Amino acid sequence: MRPQVFGYLPGRCVRDCRRSFYRLSGSDIHATLTMDINEILGIANHATRFFQKICNVNGVKAKMDALESNMGLVSARKDDISLELEQEEQRPGKRRKNEVDLWIRRVGSLEGQVRELGRKVEERHFFYHSVLEDQVSGLATKVEILDKKSRFFNGLTLNVRPARGYKLQPGELVGQASQTIKDEIWDCLMREEVLRVGVWGQRGVGKTFLTKHIHDRIVEECPRFDGACLVTASQECNVGRIQADIANYLKLDLTEVSAVYWGARLKEALQGRRLLFILDDVGKYYSLEEVGIALERNGCKLIVTSRSRDVCEQMNCHDLVHVPTLAEEVPRR
């Protein structure tokens, strides 16, 4: 008796199936079974690759999380360096190194690239993650390099010799009397105990002309001073305008802070400097403390020019130099 291969099937269907099966040769049965096994293996391979892609998705996201974490640390370092630079560059004679500036700009560029790549990793279909994985690895290497280069052991800034100022070139000094008065003003400045010199006389006698010659001599070459700054302080002037003119000379931006702090800001910037300040055509008293000018031996000094001797005295000038009119000079001769 032939075996029940198909089990129970009703009527003619069973007989037809049996006849068809028994007509199959051994090679046909083997081919059929082989085809079925290959199809099964193909499906299994596809399933394996599918699950590998799912695992790759999770792997790329994990690498992206690590990249964003490391980028955050480098960005925090950049913010710290930028703040330190801001404080350093407020000091005269300090300029950031080119390598530091380049590093900051590269970090800024990399921050944008990491943000964009993070968005792609979140939004793209997982079939693209094999490409994104290479991009994540590439940026991770760049972040690591920038992190290693963030240790500026030799400092962030360079010491740059500040400008002494611009020569005013008032013209040739004529006459022995003018030369004598200029020498008298100069001698006062060169005495260390004298911090303020008052130059007074009527309008048009040459006070400004003489002090401009003093200014240019210091700008040109004078070991005692680092430079000279002349500010016109006439009746229409005020403390804020004087502060702004001095800040321009120092290349200092006072707009970063409220006006109430301008004096303190100038005083801080002038620490360690040896400058001659000339307040020209002063018509009233100004508080140097409010302006932000600190005078001291081996430090800054001041020349005040005024039409009034009283104003020079109110400004606490230690030495006074009178510039006479031509009529006043004649009797002296």
In the sheet where 227-232 sits, what is the strand order? 227-232, 275-280, 301-306, 196-200, 319-322
pTM equals 0.58
The percent of residues above 90 in pLDDT, for the chain, comes to 50
- What pairs with residue 199 in β-bridges? 305, 321
| Banded pLDDT at 255 (limits 50, 70, 90) | confident
DSSP string for 35-100: HHHHHHHHHHHHHHHHHHHHHHHHHHHHHHHHHHHHHHHHHHHHHHHHHHHHHHTTSTTEEE-HHH
Q: Is the pLDDT of residue 331 over 50?
A: no
Residue-wise burial string across 265-290, b where 16 or more C-beta atoms lie within 10 A, e elsewhere: bbeebbeebbbbbbbbbbeeebebee
Q: How confident is the model at residue 153 (pLDDT cuts 50, 70, 90)?
A: confident
pLDDT score, position 25: 52
What's the pLDDT score for residue 235? 78
Q: Which residue has the tokens 């001769």?
A: 333
Instruction: Note the pLDDT tens digit of each residue in 303-327.
Output: 999 999 999 999 999 999 999 986 5
Model confidence over 222-244: pLDDT tens digits? Answer: 889 999 999 999 878 999 999 99
| Closest listed residue to residue 308, CA positions, set 322, 298, 297 | 322
Indicate the domain borders of the chain: 30-159, 176-332
What the block records as the tokens of 265 is 């800001």
In the CATH hierarchy, which top-level class contains the domain 176-332? Answer: alpha beta
pLDDT digits (tens, 9 = 90+) for 15-71: 555 555 455 455 555 555 555 566 666 665 654 555 555 555 677 888 889 999 999
Whether residue 330 has pLDDT greater than 50: no
Mean pLDDT of the chain: 83
Per-residue model confidence as pLDDT tens digits over 2-13: 444 444 445 555
Tell how strand 196-200 and strand 301-306 pair up: parallel
CA dist 250 and 231 (Å) reads 13
CB 124 within 8 Å of CB 85: no
In 3D space, the residue among 145, 154, 161 whose CA is nearest the CA of residue 100 turns out to be: 154
